[in-house]
Amino acid sequence: MANCFISSTNWLASAATPTCTDSAATDLPLANLKDGAGAPPARILDTAFTLSWDLGSARSIRVIALPRNSLSTGATYRLKLGTTAGAGDVYDTGGSLISLGVVEGHDTAAIVLPAAYSARHGSLEISDAGNAETYVDLGELWIGAADIAPAIGFDYGAALGPKFADDTARAEDGTPWGFQRRALRSWRLTFNWLTDAEANQLLDLQRIKTGVLPVVVVPDVAHWTDPGRRVVVGLLAGGQPLTVGRGRRNAMTLEATEI
């Protein structure tokens, strides 16, 4: 499958805390948008707001993700990337807000750009008038590049599914009862045609990130119109060692489970 990529670094993590046109809850501040390792979310006390950021220098941007959010399926957005604050001279989705693609039962929203754009500044306007709450929780604001993109993507047989959904226990009389837990999606991808340089990238990714720091997996850019189901912001786990096959082609399997 071509066009798969992994975003390994959130540029926002090393930049200044983004600003917002509306206030955030005191105990759930905007600074939480920079921490993707399972920290509490940022809670914005309105359902229509604009987040703005300055990355400190121009960065390559291909994906923007909002994991663990409380947005409704009717949420819309406008994204601008620019050379100066508030500008959209690098990229602009246009004057009208468009669907963010939030899917019922999923809590990740992602914007996969049609190409990589280099920009220092950006803003994300969100409107969610149909939200049942008077606030919006955002687990993280991921702004990242497609920095790992094998020329030949993952092989057939890739699997996407929940790690767990429900726990079932029994009362003293033996009656079963269950309680629902958040189902964590997991991508398991096998790359069988890696060049040495691509294999080294994945080896470094395993070494540095596994179980510690999140990555964003975009399995196939052809599905960018349906990212709420397929894009995973998660931790690498259960990786297998690099193997070398015929023709010195490298192979590796990676598993990423959302946080």
Per domain, the residue ranges of the chain are 5-144, 159-258
Name the band, by pLDDT with cuts 50, 70 and 90, for residue 165: very low
pTM exceeds 0.85: yes
Amino acid 158: pLDDT: 86
Q: Is the pLDDT of residue 172 over 80?
A: no
Q: Is the pLDDT of residue 13 over 80?
A: yes
Q: What angle do CA 95, 7, 33 make, to 5 degrees?
A: 65
With a pLDDT cut of 70, the percent of the chain lying above it is 90
Cβ within 8 Å of residue 196, ≥6 positions away:
248, 250
Q: pLDDT tens-digit profile of 133-156?
A: 999 999 999 999 999 999 998 888
Amino acid 174: pLDDT: 56
Amino acid 84: pLDDT: 97
Q: Mean pLDDT for the chain?
A: 89
Place of tokens 């190409």: 115
Amino acid 39: pLDDT: 81
Q: How many C-alpha atoms does 246 have within 13 Å on its Cβ side?
A: 0
Amino acid 220: pLDDT: 82
Q: pLDDT tens-digit profile of 177-227?
A: 555 566 788 899 999 999 999 999 999 998 888 878 899 999 887 766 788
Distance separating alpha carbons of residues 165 and 141, to the nearest angstrom? 25
SS3 110: strand
- Across residues 67-94, what is the average pLDDT? 97
Instruction: Return the CATH fold of 5-144.
Output: Jelly Rolls (2.60.120)
Report CA-CA distances (Å) from 241 to 158, 199, 234, 238, 251: 17, 11, 20, 10, 9
Q: pLDDT tens-digit profile of 41-66?
A: 999 999 999 999 999 999 999 999 99
Neighbouring CB atoms inside 10 A of 246's CB total 5
Report CA-CA distances (Å) from 102 to 111, 134, 184, 226, 240: 11, 18, 16, 9, 32
Q: Is the pLDDT of residue 171 over 60?
A: no
Amino acid 227: pLDDT: 87
